[in-house]
A = this chain, B = another copy of it.
Amino acid sequence: MNSESCPLKTQPACRCQTCSSQTDPGGFCRHLTQCQLETLKTRSRWSSLLRGETIKSEDLLIWPIIAISTGVLSFQQLLEDGRKIIAALFMRGDIIDMRGLANRHHGHLIALGKTEICRLSPRTFEAAIDDNIDARKVAWSSLRRQGNRAMDHGADLAKKQALEKLASFVFECRHRLPDSVSDSKVHIPVRRLDLADYLGMQPETVSRGFKELQARGIIGIEGISNIEILDFPRLRRIANGDKHTENLRQTHENHFQAATGS
């Protein structure tokens, strides 16, 4: 990836006006008092990352709390032999607490596209959490959502097959980044390559999977990063792993139908 070693260009958090943590209904900063916000603002750091840029461990030691305004940040691990794993995706509105994880071999935070983040002053964040029940609840539920998402994602990875993982991912995107224009259009905010690493499969398989869903008339593909859900219930059934009714290859149809008939 590019420019991993170049230091982050940072500036005091002056973008609060347009930051989603401030503008979105469930955003963290929106729940702070004016005074708390001012303090947090002056002590936090705004940065903009490009695709492939890594937040360095030494930065994470000082700034372990990160709020994502726009874009996608990945938490990835590199196996000794080069296999890459994206263990989690963080998007708009997520608050990441990396305290204690920075120095370990756990993984790295890497941007998957242009990403705008605000690195919150941990001390001020902690103080706000202590004083402000609303802010505390927002942070707590963000953390809990991350955990639940990780568990759901683990479930996807554990026993689902390629098509089912893809279907599941489409719903995850739809849920996390609701499209303001149309209910059935879904924006895929990551490249195929990264998607493969996130879903534990090969880019080739991702490609074939989307093509298969398209061939069955379940989704429409519009460019590389936008799809349209054409058959909602069938996609839902595939995502839920309902093999008997939906998740069968055309070529095996007769075989499986015979089996279900018994």
Interface residues, chain A, with chain B CB atoms under 8 Å away: 75, 77, 79-81, 83-88, 97, 101, 106-107, 130, 133, 140, 143-144, 146-148, 150-155, 157-160, 197-200, 237, 240-244
Residues A152 and B80 in contact, CB atoms below 8 Å apart? no
Task: Report Cα–Cα, A237/B105, bound state, in Å.
Answer: 13
Minimum CB distance partner of A79 in chain B: B241
Residues of chain B lying within 8 A (CB to CB) of residue A85: 155, 158-159
Say whether, besides A151-B88, A244-B80, A200 and B140 are in contact (CB < 8 Å).
Answer: no
Write the nearest CB–CB distance from A142 to chain B, whole angstroms.
10
Residues B150 and A241 in contact, CB atoms below 8 Å apart? no
Residues of chain B lying within 8 A (CB to CB) of residue A150: 147, 150-151, 153-154
**Interchain residue pairs A-B with the least CB separation, the first 5:** A158-B200, A79-B241, A150-B150, A80-B242, A147-B147
Write the nearest CB–CB distance from A247 to chain B, whole angstroms.
8
Task: Report Cα–Cα, A146/B149, bound state, in Å.
Answer: 11
Minimum CB distance partner of A154 in chain B: B154
Residues A159 and B83 in contact, CB atoms below 8 Å apart? yes
